[in-house]
Structure 1
Amino acid sequence: MTWDIFSIIGTAAFAISGALVAMDEKYDVFGVYILGFVTAFGGGAIRNLLIGLPVSYLWSQTTLFYISLISITIILIFPKLMTYSWKKAGLYADAIGLAAFAIQGALHAASLDHSLLAIMVAAFLTGSGGGILRDVLAGRKPYVFKAEIYGTWAALAGLFIGLGASDHPILLYVLFAAIIFLRIFSFHQKWQLPVPKMHYQ
């Protein structure tokens, strides 16, 4: 049940995030739907490839496809329902998607009895993969490859689940809220990871 809840939340949030980016980039209606779907399902497709699940597994998620379709359509029809600011709306939707999908991906890997490292990688890819594909298709630098802290929070979710957080459902919701808070807080505080520099002679 917990897994299904995180899948639904993550799918809706990332579909909205992709749609907002597409609208901000002045994409047409078809482009908005495509970017929304890619953002919602891209991370799961990458994860499935790496942990041994067939990519075709995605096509069996009919309910999630409908959820993403409805979410994108609502944003297209009522864009002001989201917020007064595209950037702020995108940040919140992306943070929710990151937290939900990171936890969902980690739970998926943990259910297959993978190692702690594999669970962390699954969390990272599921939480960040869709956003990476979204940003690349939108011609933007992906969050996860910049100094801004992003994928680290997804890996952190995987670490906690790999250490046993999934044994207590309430902890998953606390972790979900914590990842959202850390993502948004670190963005506003401009926290950064070290950026290596090339030295030329």
Structure 2
Amino acid sequence: MTWEILTIIGTIAFALSGVIVAMEEDYDLMGVYILGLVTAFGGGAIRNLLVGLPISALWEQGHLFTIALIVMTIAFFFPKLWVTKWMKWGLIFDALGLAAFAIQGALYATSMGHSLSAIIVAAMLTGTGGGMIRDVLAGRKPIFLRNEIYIVWAMLAGIVIGLELVTGTVGIMILFVVIVVLRMLSVYMRWSLPHRTLSQ
């Protein structure tokens, strides 16, 4: 049940983020659908390849495709109902999607008996893969390559779950909230990782 809830939250959040980017880039309806779908499902597809699942496993998520298509259709045809709210709360939706998919990816890899390193990478790719594909298709610099901390919080989910520091539904939901809060704090407090440019 926890897994399913996290998946639905992540799917809706990332589908909406794909829609808003597509609308900012003035894509048509099919462009909106494509960008929304790759954002919502791209990370899971990359994760499946990583952990050894056939890519066809993606098509077993018919109900999630239906949810994503309904959400994107409503978002496209009735933007006034949500765009202003997205501009205000969009960062929270992105944080929800990151946390939900990172935890889901880590749980998936754990259930298959993979090593800690594989669990961490599964969390990273599931949490950020869809956004990476979205930004590349839209001609933008992927969010996890910017100065602000992003992918680290997905790694944290993988570490915590891989080391079994949390167990059960309550523990997973607490971890979910912690990752969302850390992501929001990293933006508003302008936390960043060390970075360096090559100067001539």
Q: Which category of TM-score, normalised to the shorter sequence, fits these structures? A: over 0.9
Partner of 2:5: 5
Instruction: Show the counterpart of 2:143.
Output: 143
**Where do 5+ consecutive residues of structure 2 fail to align?**
none
The secondary structure found in structure 2 opposite 1:84 is helix
Q: Secondary structure at the match of 1:37?
A: helix
What is residue 19 of structure 2 aligned with on the other side?
19
Gaps of 5+ in 1: none
Matched, 1:60 2:69: no
1:188 and 2:188 correspond: yes
Which residue is 1:152 aligned to?
Answer: 152
Q: Which residue of 2 aligns with 1:33?
A: 33
Q: Are the structure 2 counterparts of residues 71 and 165 from structure 1 closer, same or farther at C-alpha, using a change threshold of 3 Å?
A: farther
Distance 1:99 1:55 in 2: 23
Indicate whether 1:102 and 2:97 are aligned.
no
Query: Which stretches of structure 1, 4 residues or more, deviate above 6 A after TM superposition?
Result: none
Q: Give 1:147 shift.
A: 1.2
2:161 corresponds to which letter in structure 1? I
In the alignment, which residue of structure 2 is the partner of 1:178? 178
Give the secondary-structure state (helix, strand or coil) at the position aligned to 1:164. coil
| Aligned mates of 2:88, 2:142 — CA distance in 1 | 17
Instruction: Report how many residues are paired.
Output: 200
Q: Which residue of 1 aligns with 2:69?
A: 69
Contact 1:109 1:118 in 2 (8 A): yes
> Shift of residue 87 of structure 1?
4.0
Instruction: Provide, for residues 49-84 of structure 1, a one-character-per-residue CA deviation record: whole Å limited to 9, x for no partner.
Output: 111111111011101100111111121133233352
Q: Matched residues in 2 for 1:143 and 1:192: separation? A: 13
- Looking at structure 1, the residues matched to 104 and 166 of structure 2 have their Cα atoms a distance apart, in angstroms, of 10
* CA deviation string 1:58-113 (max 9, x = no partner): 01110110011111112113323335255444322211110100010000000011
Alpha-carbon distance between aligned partners in 1 of 2:174 and 2:83, rounded to the nearest angstrom: 25
Match of 2:51 in 1: 51
Other structure's SS at 1:63 match = helix
Provide the rounded CA distance (Å) in 1 between the counterparts of 2:143 and 2:58.
25
Measured after TM superposition, the shift of residue 165 of structure 1 is 4.3
